[in-house]
Chain A
Amino acid sequence: MNVRAASTFFYRRPNWYLCLLLVPPLLWFGTVYLGSLFALLAQSFYRIDDFTAQIVREPTLATYQQLVTQPANVDIVLRTLTMAIAVTLACAIIALPIATYMARYARGRMKAFFYVGVMLPMWTSYLVKVYAWRLLLAKEGIIAWATDKLGLTGLLEVVLAAPGVGGPSLSSSYIGMFIVFVYMWLPFMILPMAAALERVPGTLLQASADLGARPSQTFRNVVLPLAVPGIAAGSVFTFSLTLGDYIIPSVVGAPGYFIGMMVYVQQGTAGNIPLAAAFSVVPIILIFAYLGIAKRFGAFDAL
């Protein structure tokens, strides 16, 4: 069959064409992507035998029981969740003015500069950036040096003395870890937010002003509600990336474990695959809960 005949064949049979188009990616998506995820989830319903250190392949909730009853494990989940919420909020607050400027005011070269500027850090190695931040935040690092030169060492000490989140230096405190998380995930918040704001027609803002709304009212009543789907999309990125990350908490910050580190440790050195799997189920549940709450507050109504 020559090309023209094949083209005609598929043009006349759109469903066949659709099949041809979808079957390979669906096979990949179904087996490799979702299949392996379910295989992982299945592992969490096994348990490890404490004496033999062998995996017992019988369905049981013992691993989950271990997860929710051991205070150390609950602490890890709460610590990670708190960090994810804090990082998401900070990213949303920092991203909103930047995204607004990019979408509504910047034109031509300025706009290109901002988009490249936002994405540029993502073109660099993740590990390099994390280790660079450790040096920046270190006791002898440039930030400590700069605060010293500015005579603000006292202020830095006050910040680092904060109970729970402080520490001997920025690089070994939760504050430092928070800064690195925000830095890493900020582009994932700015880009969807800017995309959402770009889609708001300019005449809507004019109509709002025309009807008597001052700029702050227009922002609250028109811009923000229409940007919410973008903020929701961005926050899913920042929230889930923070929940799952294990490199930043192990390179920067206080020694407390995070979910990602537990998964890494349990499936590696400890060899407790069921517990690692159970830990990796936690972010999935948390993200579903997050989406449920966002939906309840009408975040997706404007979609």
Chain B
Amino acid sequence: MTAAIEFRGVSRLFGDLRAVDDVSFAIEPGEFFAMLGPSGSGKTSCLRLVAGFDAPDRGQVLLEGADVSAVPPYDRNVNTVFQDYALFPHMTVLENVAYGPRVRGVDAATRAQRAREMLDLVQLGAQGERRPAQLSGGQRQRVALARALINHPKVLLLDEPLGALDLKLREEMQIELKGLQRRLGITFVYVTHDQGEALSMADRVAVFNKGKIEQLAAPRELYTRPDTAFVARFVGGANVAEGALARAISGSEQPFAIRAENVAVQSESTPLANEAVTAPGSVVAVQYHGAASRWQVKLDAGEVWSALITEDDSRALNGIAVGARVRLSWPREAAVMLKS
């Protein structure tokens, strides 16, 4: 099967900055593909290359097997939901949604009909005559979605589409977007810096760092078997031991990661369990999150590690205050070896 999108050795340079640095990957048709990374990691630059707002300096971008590196956005069967929605302020909601068919020469009655269908799809059927400025953030988001989907694109690009919404609305929209993608069977390429969003929605996630892909894998694999220290930290929020710290704990410089939920906090007087690895330190802070608490412990070897302690286990730690001496402990098999 031909890939919906393929990058072959793509680079995009801005002066000395390698925004995209020799990146290759393929996205299957119908896949929900997330590009995850901190700002400036190259994920949005890749999205712009797919949309056609930018052209690669080296390499090729292929849509359904055809090199589109020189094809302008208006000749690509790809549509985008922008981070700021980019709704046309001088048009009504209906006119916004009908814009795609309009510039492609569809007659007024047909395009109005199709726009109304799209608005029904995103549950905004009654808002067609309003201006974007009169809508809430969540509603604008849906208009942007309807406008991008009306041309029946093969690929929908979403550039941090939920970034401006509050938490509850964001979670609702995540479920809705995922359901919409399943129903329509369109390839979604979803750019985000929120690892929770990427893990919960995507079939596969590409983790970007400094213009390169650090790891491309399914969410569960990314979380449980991170390849690199960057992925372990950024995706799993894991504790990472490298170099001197790794040697101090395990005796070798082989870097490894331990997720916070696998780490227990013990007072120094607790007897050591077999098969447990430990590291001494002192408590820096305890953040209460309800179901669990995050303990920040400064290891004697230098770094601050965190341990996620469930509410039940927290009771055993009553009386241990900030500044107290503790021991972090985890089962030997919980350590995930990383590429050095």
User: Across the interface, do A225 and B73 meet the contact criterion of CB distance under 8 Å?
Assistant: no
> By CB atoms of chain B within 10 A, which of A208, A210, A212, A221 has the most?
A210
Interface size on B, as a range, is 20 to 34
The minimal Cβ–Cβ distance linking B140 to chain A, given in whole angstroms, is 13
User: Across the interface, do B51 and A208 meet the contact criterion of CB distance under 8 Å?
Assistant: no
Q: Given A201-B84, A203-B82, A221-B103, A210–B90 Cβ distance below 8 Å?
A: no
Q: How far is the CA of A203 from the CA of B84 in the complex (A)?
A: 8
Q: Is B339's beta carbon under 8 Å from chain A?
A: no
> Considering the complex, which residues of chain B in the window 181-200 have a beta carbon less than 8 Å from any beta carbon of chain A?
none
Q: How many A-B residue pairs have C-beta atoms within 8 angstroms? Tell me.
A: 67
User: Across the interface, do B86 and A221 meet the contact criterion of CB distance under 8 Å?
Assistant: no
The minimal Cβ–Cβ distance linking A215 to chain B, given in whole angstroms, is 8
Q: How far is the CA of A204 from the CA of B90 in the complex (A)?
A: 11
Q: Which A residues lie within 8 Å of B74 (CB)?
A: 209-214
Q: How far is the CA of A302 from the CA of B89 in the complex (A)?
A: 7
> By CB atoms of chain A within 10 A, which of B53, B148, B151 has the most?
B53
The minimal Cβ–Cβ distance linking B150 to chain A, given in whole angstroms, is 8
> Considering the complex, which residues of chain B in the window 144-159 have a beta carbon less than 8 Å from any beta carbon of chain A?
147-148, 151
The minimal Cβ–Cβ distance linking B57 to chain A, given in whole angstroms, is 19
Interface of A is mostly: helix
The minimal Cβ–Cβ distance linking B196 to chain A, given in whole angstroms, is 26
Q: Given A212-B74, A226-B89, A207–B82 Cβ distance below 8 Å?
A: yes
User: How many of chain A's residues have a CB under 8 angstroms from any CB in B?
Assistant: 19
The minimal Cβ–Cβ distance linking B255 to chain A, given in whole angstroms, is 41
Q: Which B residues lie within 8 Å of A210 (CB)?
A: 51-53, 73-74, 78-80, 148
The minimal Cβ–Cβ distance linking B65 to chain A, given in whole angstroms, is 21
In the complex, 14 of the A-B residue pairs with CB atoms within 8 angstroms, ordered by the A residue number, are A201-B84, A201-B86, A203-B84, A204-B88, A207-B82, A207-B86, A209-B52, A209-B74, A210-B148, A212-B104, A213-B74, A214-B74, A226-B90, A302-B90
Chain B residues proximal to chain A, CB less than 8 Å: 51-53, 72-74, 78-80, 82-84, 86-90, 99-100, 102-104, 147-148, 151
Chain A residues proximal to chain B, CB less than 8 Å: 201, 203-204, 206-214, 217, 221-222, 225-226, 301-302
